[in-house]
Structure 1
Amino acid sequence: MNQTSVCPRFEKGMRIVSKRWAGLIIHQLLKGPQRFCTIETALQISGRLLSERLKELEHEGIVKRDVYPETPVRIEYSLTDKGRALAPVFREMEKWTSVWIELDEEPAADPLTK
């Protein structure tokens, strides 16, 4: 067991949801199942990075990928029970940000998103 960590489970959980774009992807999927292009458009994230994060979240058991054998093939992403269990955490974060976080006049463009 790692002696330097105060709470290894909390630390791992924070690493998962705080990884770049992961929290925003989870937040987007709290609205319900969505296709890749819908998430990509809503978050204005590069397809490569979105694909990478979705695979990581799927590996962690937070996101589920459903493939529908239609023509053309339809793929939807949704949250698992483990992912939906984050909903209260994200609701509380929304409440906290609405009280304590002020937005800049114009959000700075993130040069790494495209």
Structure 2
Amino acid sequence: MMPAEWKIKEVEGLKEIISSYPVVGIVGIRGIPASQMHEMRKTLRENAVVRVSKNRLIKHALEGSELSKLSDYIEGETAVLATNMNPFKIFRQLEKAKMKVPAKGGE
């Protein structure tokens, strides 16, 4: 059975991102509210690409690349972050953009 067309295109898009940037990371986004995710993307828009996708598709995109070891860190809700910037500067930008969010029941 052939995979769905959108899945093939998504893997191709992820491969393009992964191969186009010198710094690529896997970011856990579990529990991040949509508003905070939106702010994070807005903060990074000029300097980085943040792509949320299904874990299985991210793993397929990483297969055969020099970054295939990143697959070991994919669990839960994840995103691919790719940039030309120093990773420590990106981390600092993300830390500044953090918002305090009250805990929900069960967290």
Output the TM-score relative to the length of structure 2: 0.30
Q: From the CA coordinates, give the structure whose radius of gyration is larger.
A: 1
Bigger RCO of structures 1 and 2 (CA < 8 A, at least 6 apart): 2
